[in-house]
Chains A and B, each alone.
Chain A
Amino acid sequence: MAGKITVLDPRGQPSGVFGRRSSGDNPGTILSPRVRPVDSREAMEKLQMADRLDTLEGKLIYLVDVGFPGSKEFLEEVAEWFKENMPTVKVVYRQKRFDPYSDDPQLWEEIHAAGGDGVIIGVGG
């Protein structure tokens, strides 16, 4: 062991605490990690994905623009594609409020209340 030394590991330890999107209604939470909402591992394991649709034909699909450059143009072209290829699909374009990183519960409620069947959301990048 001559010439060998022991040093401490500099890395932080896994905490089981994850960041969570904050609502853009409260911009104070965007900047301070201490007041940003968090999720626990246990809470996340209870989250469930939605049942899938049997088909898109005749369904109401929301196209949600998160606000990154090019998203609007991309979703407009997606709408055009449905018009040409699956004309029974009804699409509605909505722009998410606030910045691309914030939650927008008001919009999710609106989509649910309007009977939205599915959401295409983007474009991250």
Chain B
Amino acid sequence: MEDHYNIPTAPVVTARFADYVLKDSRSHGMLLRYSFPPHPIGFIPRSYIRDYIKGNDPYTGKPLMQEIIDALTKPLTEEEKNPVVPKRPRHPRLLPPDTEENLQRLFLENGWTDGLPIVLPTEERVAEMLTGTDADPNQVVGRMSIAYYEEKLEYTVEKVAVNAVMAGCRPEHLPVLLAIAETQHPSLPSSTTSFASMLCVNGPIRHEIGMNSGLAALSPFNYANSVIGRAWTLMSINFGEAKPGDTFMASLGHNLNYNNMTFAENEEDSPFEPFHVEKGFKPEESTVSIFRGWNVLGLGLGNVEEMARVLKNLPTMAPTGTFVMDPLVARSLVDEGFKTKEELRQYFAEKTGFPPSAINFMVVGGQTNPLWITTDFVYTETESIDKWIPKDGIRKDKRPLRMPAPLVCKDGICNLPR
């Protein structure tokens, strides 16, 4: 309105976000004239709102309505007439040398970690990590911001490798992380509503790098699942510039932000086509698929009608749903007459009123219980991993790091002495 139509505007934002929008305004070079009533204005008695309008802006201390009138009528200042978008300096590639203890402290105190200890990204470690791909370390992979409208930070293959080292990854994981980084999706969106994210890996790389798609796949018992999920969070912090109260405004936050519900799909035990094949990839391709939402409701038990009932009643802000189900559930659904995910999708759309395209099904788990997890996650993107894999194959350590695989008691005694 301001620039295109030459119509003055008076934007109103609650005082809780005054610093946020003023910073946003400065960084965009348009010094919009905000007014700030007290926060919140939603879900409060009407009489409170009336009082706010007759009262002062708590941020400036000035009468709110006069401020709104001034925003539309006071002549523009020279600063407002001549917008300048501040240019931020680039960071040097290397940090000043210091002791390991001090550097751990530096990373933590600057908010470059998730609060857990990191592996420091020395030049040697980053160089080793970069053996995990043939890509040029200086190749730009993407740009990211956790706040949609802020300046996006650009990152290279080397920057991804730095964050991979910090998360505890090995070179074998790097192609997956590059594919995640290529989506340019932060796992920690700025929203006050406290988003969670989910990440699923499909294709042969699941086995190559030892991901878990079976028993306890969503629990902390698998090295690859753990560090890949963590690395996405570190990239979101350092590429997306996540700073609580500044850019990251999630009121409660979400515990899934630590690992982003990272797993591999159990393609082998699923009666349905793998998720990435649904999305047009070949079965022999490796991919990452990412999702975003708020609600994760565990302990789903029951048939397809019960699944529809739970999804329909899940409190959410969007008509979307993704079921994460054990292979036992998937096979039960086939027994109930649903031969494909598409048939299921149509059934759930009819029962819930959600668009069919907004309903997804992932198969994972160890078949000890026919459980399903209901989420309101929306699918956002699938990215190929293969182009980031070295032409000679995935760069594995001579003795790859692996946690104990889930015990499978084929003999009925779980290898215990008889």
Contact = CB atoms under 8 A, between A and B. Distances in A.
A74 B30 contact: no
A15 B73 CA distance: 36
Interface string A75-101: 001101100010000000000000001
Given A5-B103, A45-B84, A74 B238 contact: no
B10 interface: yes
Contacts of A12: 143-144, 153-155, 159, 238-241
A48 B82 CA distance: 8
A9 B95 contact: yes
A44 B150 contact: no
Contact of B14 (A3, A56, A112, A124): A124
B185 A77 contact: no
Contacts of B87: 14, 16, 41
A108 B46 CA distance: 29
A33 B7 contact: no
B88 A124 contact: no
Interface string A1-41: 10111111111111111111100000000011110101101
B218 interface: no
Given A7-B95, A11-B153, A49-B3, A121 B159 contact: no
Interface in B61-94: 65, 68-69, 72-76, 80-81, 83-85, 87-94
A52 B2 contact: no
Residue picked from B28, B54, B238, most chain A C-beta under 10 Å: B28
Nearest to B383: A34
A69 B42 CA distance: 5
Interface of B: 1-14, 16-17, 21, 27-32, 37, 39-44, 46, 49-50, 52-54, 65, 68-69, 72-76, 80-81, 83-85, 87-95, 97-100, 103, 107, 112, 120-123, 126, 142-145, 147-155, 158-159, 162-163, 166, 183-185, 234, 238-241, 292, 378, 380-381
Interface of A: 1, 3-21, 31-34, 36, 38-39, 41, 44-45, 47-56, 61, 68-71, 73-74, 77-78, 80-81, 85, 101, 108, 111-112, 116-125
Given A13-B90, A116-B7, 19 more contacts: A7-B94, A11-B159, A11-B241, A12-B153, A14-B88, A18-B27, A34-B184, A44-B83, A49-B31, A56-B72, A68-B42, A69-B40, A71-B42, A74-B37, A78-B65, A112-B7, A124-B13, A124-B17, A124-B21
